[in-house]
């Protein structure tokens, strides 16, 4: 009986300590986010609308309407300078609304580029297709570009995932910089 009391006391004392020890996944995420910050990306947690939500996801058990959302992490790369004439959009993986890029739908409205500009959307689609780490959305604004995802490494090294995210974002930034410059030059010519 004394031994049972001693074991119970040890479990009560050690249990909470074991509970707060980070898991392997927690350690990976910490290392991934630290590496991303060191490479110039900013990180924050986001909630995106679930474009693939079923009817049951949009209604609570009590019959109340609710927003179907996905919690994800955004890795954002700021532009060296604002690009006021660059396209603005937010795309997320979708089984529906595949007008612009196959497998991707729109969140909100598109500004600064026509939805019928096939060359632009094919270029963006090619870049987005190579983004790693369970990318579920990409957002472009005049000030920055964000990879939004679930942070799965899929067997890749942390350095490789961060480098591939940053490389993909840089390619879209280069495209948007070129568009911004062309539009500003065409305005100054008139």
pTM assigned to the model: 0.82
Residue 116 lies inside a defined structural domain of this protein: yes
Residue 6 lies inside a defined structural domain of this protein: no
Residue 31 lies inside a defined structural domain of this protein: yes
Cβ neighbours around 110 below 10 Å, total = 18
Residue 169 lies inside a defined structural domain of this protein: yes
What Rg, from alpha-carbon coordinates, does the chain have?
Answer: 22
What is the span of the domain harbouring residue 134?
Answer: 23-189
The predicted-structure confidence for 58-68, as pLDDT tens digits, reads as follows 777 777 887 88
Residue 166 lies inside a defined structural domain of this protein: yes
User: Residue 156 is encoded by which pair of tokens?
Assistant: 């890749």
Overall domain count for the chain: 1
The answer to whether the beta carbons of residues 43 and 34 sit under 8 Å apart is no
Residue 5 lies inside a defined structural domain of this protein: no
User: How would you write the pLDDT of the chain (190 residues) with one tens digit per residue?
Assistant: 788 888 888 888 887 777 777 788 889 889 999 999 999 999 999 999 888 777 776 777 777 887 888 999 999 999 999 999 999 999 999 988 778 899 999 999 999 999 999 999 999 999 999 998 699 999 999 999 999 999 888 888 999 999 999 999 999 999 999 999 999 998 877 6
Residue 7 lies inside a defined structural domain of this protein: no
């Amino acid at each position: 009986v004394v031994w049972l009391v001693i074991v119970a006391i040890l479990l009560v004392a050690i249990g909470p300590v074991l509970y707060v020890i980070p898991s392997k996944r927690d350690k990976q995420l910490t290392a991934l986010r630290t590496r991303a910050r060191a490479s110039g990306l900013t990180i924050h947690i986001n909630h995106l609308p679930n474009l693939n939500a079923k009817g049951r996801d949009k209604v609570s058990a009590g019959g109340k309407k609710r927003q179907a959302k996905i919690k994800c992490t955004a890795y954002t790369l700021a532009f060296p300078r604002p690009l006021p004439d660059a396209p603005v959009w937010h795309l997320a993986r979708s089984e529906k609304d595949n007008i612009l890029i196959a497998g991707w739908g729109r969140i909100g409205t598109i500004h600064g580029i026509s939805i019928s500009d096939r060359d632009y959307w094919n270029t963006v689609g090619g870049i987005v297709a190579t983004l790693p780490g369970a990318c579920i959305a990409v957002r472009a604004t005049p000030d920055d570009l964000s990879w939004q995802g679930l942070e799965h490494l899929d067997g890749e090294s942390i350095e490789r995932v961060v480098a591939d995210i940053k490389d993909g974002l840089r390619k879209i930034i280069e495209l948007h910089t070129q568009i911004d410059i062309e539009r500003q030059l065409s305005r100054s010519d008139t």
